[in-house]
Structure 1
Amino acid sequence: MEVDGDFQNFKLSVTTDEIEKNITHATFRITSDQFDFPPEFHIKWSQPYVDVAGQWKTSSNADKSLPPDWTNSRNVTSFVTFHAPVISLFGYENKNRLTYACSDALNTLIIKSGVREEDAKIYNIIKLFTEKPSKVKEYEVVVRFDKRDIPYYAALNDVSKWWASLEGFEPVSVPDDARMPMYSTWYSYHQVVNEKKLLEECKVAKEFGCKSIIVDDGWQTLDANRGYAYTGDWKPERMTKMKEFVDSVHALDMKVMLWYSVPFVGEHSENYEKFKNKFLRYQEGDKWGRLDPRFPEVREFIIDTYVQAMKDWNLDGFKLDFIDQFRVYDGTVLEAVDGRDIASVYVAVDKLMTDIISELTKINPEILIEFRQNYIGPLMRKYGNMFRASDCPNSAVLNRHRTTSVKLLCGNTAVHADMIMWHYDEPVELAAMQYTNIMFSVPQISVKLKEIPADHLQMLKFLTRYWVDNREILLDGEFAALYPETSYPVLISTGEEKTIAGIYDNLILDMEKFVFKKLDIINGKATDYIILKVPDTFEAKVQVFSCTGELVSDQQILFNKGINQINVPVSGIVKLTKN
């Protein structure tokens, strides 16, 4: 390992601590006698490219291959509201080969693993202070190196636990309602929402298990042209009877969450003139600016907006969007000048978000706060209790990939799927794949429930009830995400009394990996069979259900050692109980 940098007035010290066999923490500390801008420096090391199938990182991109070391196209850039500073190099049988992570999840870090063509080695690098920071006298970062021969997903889970144990990283509590299915208005209504129609959706959604409605963009403006030129006043121009609507939803025993774009103020808003000189960035083509949280009046405005909305309308939560736009841009002044009381953008963001969750939990300790990928780093767990996969409309495979990627690193924070939707002419079995592919996360449903075909509605009812009945296993069980290089075609969650496996490709499920009395298998692919490899002969009661809940078969089956086949409809579920 080597460290490169022109440290000038700073002194560098490096210490290492073996936490346990094959886990080392290396501490890099720089100090100066006076406040100064810390220098850019790089931490580098290499290793043979042996039994490494790919790299896992927090990007929503499904490509897990290692790039050549000469390209910067797939660097991991992280800061408080963007990704997380971790990479896991995994082998061909899901084993960890090296997982490395940094304790600094606040500032901008660039990390990368790439293959060098000349020697078939993997060259790893961590770049610090590539983005000019605020002045400091000292700075410290710990890099965790995990070389244990364990599943890569176990190594990532331990990284998540390590982060959560650090001072200032403590995650907020997760209310039970954050772990229940929700109805979202975004794909079904986009910006054209109204109270009457949404209340009707709630009545239907409530019947099959939804506990909340997320009213997305549109409630606050009559403009329906996308974009954020009219954003920033947060008055219910379209849904003018907001309090009445919230009360009506509460009467159904459901919660209400509202969408807000946190940093944006548009040029057509009343607040534009007030804040036009307090932006981090403004682009003429966008017609809206990104607020600078280093101004105390900006932080006060944002916090008061949510506090007042909660008090006025009795809201249960917020979908806080575009947090990642709080960042350092070209030309950003990095000093506490001209009315700014904090020099660092990221320190100001941390203060803003910490104060938001503090003020809101004073009003309602069970407040629901959703963030979406890519603002799902370890510090974001301090401010919110729901992490949603980034937008992937009508893409079952990508939704599975993204929910799984979020789930592997976020501990007990509730992982939500991107809102599921489909064309209403879709055969019900294929429409159901949007659901079966996200079973190991919290479903958000975004179709018009009174317009979808009757069998589609029956499918939603059956799968949601199944999900609710099994959510402790699906969300809290010991989770295994196999073969990340091919978008996790096998997902397994093991509880105390039952194991649930999701199969998403035409492959053989090796039963040697299971110790179970009860096993449910979700057929999340477009073929009507599941192939099992059985290590020892056993007999079991086997029930097969269609995606609409029809009992297709109920029989005793002798599973012989070797290859066995179970016939199951597309998007169906097998329930297997050993005798």
Structure 2
Amino acid sequence: MLLEDHQLSLVDWVDLPRAIRLGTGGGCRVLGTDDDGEVIRVRLAVRAGGQVILLSPLGDAAGYWYPGLDGVRGLPADWAGRDHYSAVRSAPIGALYDADGTSRFAFGLDWTTGEGEVQFGVSEEEKNFVVRLPIDERLAARTTEVELVIARSPEPYPRALARIAEVLFGDAPVRPASAAALEPVYSTWYAYSQRISDEIVSRDLPVAAELGFRSVFLDDGWQRFGDGRWYAGCGDWVPDTEKFADLGGFVERAHGHGLDVVLWLAPLLIGEQSEAFERLAPYATEYSTGLRAWVLDPRHREVREHLVETCTRLVRDYGLDGLKIDFLNNAMVYADTPSTGDLDDIGFAMVELLRGVADAVDLVRPGALIEFRQPYVSPTVAAFADVVRANDCPADADQNRLSVLDLRLLSRGQVVHADPIMWAPEAEVDAVRRQLFAGFFGVPQVSMPLAGLAAAHRATITETLAQWRSLREVLLGGELELGLPARGYPAAQARLDGTLVVVDYESVLVELDLTGVGELVVVNASQLAGVPYRVTAGVGPALAKEGILDVPAWGIAHFDLG
């Protein structure tokens, strides 16, 4: 249906390798191509109302990966696949992959700041896969030329996506990782929700340090009117003095336990109870019923200046080590609306805002941690946050794993964090391990009331964090090899400098390429003993070609292959 709806008779087609076809129409045209054997770079002239189309044979396609957050990882019909993107939502990047994990094709567009849409899916009529990139007026008003990059050869889809990202964003600046970004986090959110106070959180500080955490993320609830799970009081961003009579003093005590303090705020939200509402209401014309708050429009200079000053004030006045900046994607309520500010596009306005925040915070606290969250994952904003966190998924280990690995496939330089990990206080220790292992390929965040935690749970956290820390360089910096996204990544591997770490989440057969591997670390993140495997390359006397590795359920084993 997608192909039938857009004047295909007026489209000019170019044949690319692997039977991929590139179509341009509506004033768009190919200016030139460059094929280096790994990627095909296509320069395109664009015009408002035009379109760019990619067609790929279906082959043995099993799914289509893209960085949106709607959970679709299979093969949608072409009338259903839609992903809206901007600097604070998703990105125009995707990969069609076969049942064996090989990318059938992967692409990326260098238009990642401004707003846009990718349309995609299986054509029922033509029996192929379609990606359509409509060119709207905002894009055409800012540039007459874009670049489309297409992976050239069959290879595992994680490698193809990494190649695309490197070509498009390899020279883009990335915010250096703060020391706290690479260490486990104690978060207050799921532990207490908004029911936090100096007294409550302070009880957990020595326990957090003892268990191996190196920072505390003080989440929603510290601020005035921070009660009731809604945001009608947001906007002033001053402490609730009944909860935190001396926020700076709390920060100092946390520092005394060796813990950095990162403070949550949602700067774009403005509530009618706040003192700032009357002054800022003219710049907040969209209301979020779900949040019960108005959303500030960053296309106004006044909004950007206010938010930069707010973030700077918090870090300076309370001695903070960083900011957890939330709900930025809500700026998209202004997408496709006329602007009354000095900027006309949400994506470009958010880049200006986030650059201003990062620069100003660094002046008062060099090396501060700044955390963003899915779905604002575009490489365009990687220069402004060193941490990108999985979206909220309380107690959902499977979704946490999926989100962490999705982020790893796109993130460039940013440190990926798991969503804060929680479990039932009365659960067996295996449930604790299941939750912790789900975030193993990111930095673990844990959010439980630590002071009252069962001794067995404390011991499990300490042991698992120590194991994670011993493997951190490989888990966070290694090349990823993953199971299929449509199946929730049932297994994942990371290799670096002769070490291969394998995590089997679903007791699936793990295929091992042991070429150059001296140490094999296997994590059995399932309830069944033993990990079935098959060696695909690098067979040696240390390990049979296939069999079952002796790894207990919820256990870790090391194999010396040197």
Superposition TM-score, scaled by structure 1 size: 0.88
Q: Is the 8 A contact 1:108 1:128 kept in 2?
A: no
Residue 3 in 1 paired to residue 4 in 2? no
Residue 276 in 1 paired to residue 281 in 2? yes
Partner amino acid, structure 2, of 1:140: E
Counterpart selection for 1:571 from 549, 554, 558: 554
Alignment correspondent of 1:192: 195
The alpha-carbon deviation at position 280 of structure 1 amounts to 4.5
Residue 479 in 1 paired to residue 480 in 2? yes
Counterpart selection for 2:77 from 68, 82, 85: 68
Q: Is the 8 A contact 2:387 2:416 kept in 1?
A: yes
What is the alpha-carbon distance in structure 1 between the residues aligned to residue 481 and residue 289 of structure 2?
Answer: 47
Alignment correspondent of 2:148: 143
Partner amino acid, structure 2, of 1:204: V
Q: Is the 8 A contact 2:188 2:447 kept in 1?
A: yes
Q: 1:572 and 1:136, CA in 2 relative to 1: closer, same or farther beyond 3 A?
A: same
Partner amino acid, structure 1, of 2:36: E
What per-residue deviation string (whole Å, max 9, x for no partner) do you get for residues 156-207 of structure 1? Answer: 11222223235xx422111222111010000001101111221221211112
Alignment correspondent of 1:542: none
Partner amino acid, structure 2, of 1:304: E
What is the alpha-carbon distance in structure 2 between the residues aligned to residue 218 and residue 202 of structure 1?
Answer: 17
What is the alpha-carbon distance in structure 1 between the residues aligned to residue 515 and residue 235 of structure 2?
Answer: 53
SS of residue in 2 equivalent to 1:538: coil
Counterpart selection for 1:39 from 44, 48, 52: 48
Partner amino acid, structure 2, of 1:93: D
Alignment correspondent of 1:264: 269
Superposition TM-score, scaled by structure 2 size: 0.91
Deviating more after overlay: 285-294 vs 96-105: 285-294
Alignment correspondent of 1:357: 358
More helix by percentage: 2
Alignment correspondent of 2:122: 115
Q: 1:24 and 1:200, CA in 2 relative to 1: closer, same or farther beyond 3 A?
A: same
Alignment of 1:66-465 (within 5 A): 66-69=75-78, 71-72=79-80, 74-129=81-136, 133=138, 136=141, 138-165=143-170, 169-237=172-240, 238-282=243-287, 287-327=292-332, 329=334, 332-334=337-339, 337=340, 340-465=341-466
The alpha-carbon deviation at position 333 of structure 1 amounts to 2.1
Deviating more after overlay: 528-537 vs 103-112: 528-537
Deviating more after overlay: 385-394 vs 203-212: 203-212
- What percent identity do the matched residue pairs reach? 26
Residue 562 in 1 paired to residue 537 in 2? no
Alignment correspondent of 1:549: none
SS of residue in 1 equivalent to 2:550: strand
More strand by percentage: 1
SS of residue in 1 equivalent to 2:282: coil
The alpha-carbon deviation at position 495 of structure 1 amounts to 2.0
What is the alpha-carbon distance in structure 1 between the residues aligned to residue 548 and residue 344 of structure 2?
Answer: 64
Counterpart selection for 1:25 from 41, 59, 62: 41
Partner amino acid, structure 1, of 2:217: I
What is the alpha-carbon distance in structure 2 between the residues aligned to residue 370 and residue 477 of structure 1?
Answer: 22
What per-residue deviation string (whole Å, max 9, x for no partner) do you get for residues 104-157 of structure 1? Answer: 10112211331122231112211222xx53883743221111131121101111
SS of residue in 2 equivalent to 1:81: coil
What is the alpha-carbon distance in structure 1 between the residues aligned to residue 113 and residue 551 of structure 2?
Answer: 50
Partner amino acid, structure 1, of 2:66: K
The alpha-carbon deviation at position 475 of structure 1 amounts to 0.6
Q: How many residues align?
A: 537
Q: Is the 8 A contact 2:390 2:403 kept in 1?
A: yes
Alignment correspondent of 1:57: 66
Deviating more after overlay: 94-103 vs 43-52: 43-52
What is the alpha-carbon distance in structure 1 between the residues aligned to residue 450 and residue 216 of structure 2?
Answer: 13
Q: 1:560 and 1:282, CA in 2 relative to 1: closer, same or farther beyond 3 A?
A: closer
The alpha-carbon deviation at position 59 of structure 1 amounts to 2.3
The alpha-carbon deviation at position 432 of structure 1 amounts to 1.1
The alpha-carbon deviation at position 316 of structure 1 amounts to 0.6
Partner amino acid, structure 2, of 1:311: R
What is the alpha-carbon distance in structure 2 between the residues aligned to residue 457 and residue 138 of structure 1?
Answer: 55
Q: 1:464 and 1:520, CA in 2 relative to 1: closer, same or farther beyond 3 A?
A: same
Q: Is the 8 A contact 1:79 1:105 kept in 2?
A: yes
What per-residue deviation string (whole Å, max 9, x for no partner) do you get for residues 437-477 of structure 1? Answer: 21111000101112222111100000011111221111111
Q: Is the 8 A contact 1:159 1:409 kept in 2?
A: no
Partner amino acid, structure 2, of 1:4: G
The alpha-carbon deviation at position 221 of structure 1 amounts to 2.7
What per-residue deviation string (whole Å, max 9, x for no partner) do you get for residues 286-310 of structure 1? Answer: 5421111222221111011111111
Alignment correspondent of 1:552: none
Partner amino acid, structure 2, of 1:23: V
Q: 1:284 and 1:417, CA in 2 relative to 1: closer, same or farther beyond 3 A?
A: closer
SS of residue in 2 equivalent to 1:491: strand
Q: Is the 8 A contact 1:534 1:563 kept in 2?
A: no
Q: 1:567 and 1:379, CA in 2 relative to 1: closer, same or farther beyond 3 A?
A: closer
SS of residue in 2 equivalent to 1:14: strand
SS of residue in 2 equivalent to 1:432: helix
SS of residue in 1 equivalent to 2:334: coil
What per-residue deviation string (whole Å, max 9, x for no partner) do you get for residues 246-301 of structure 1? Answer: 01111122110000102100011111111111115125775421111222221111
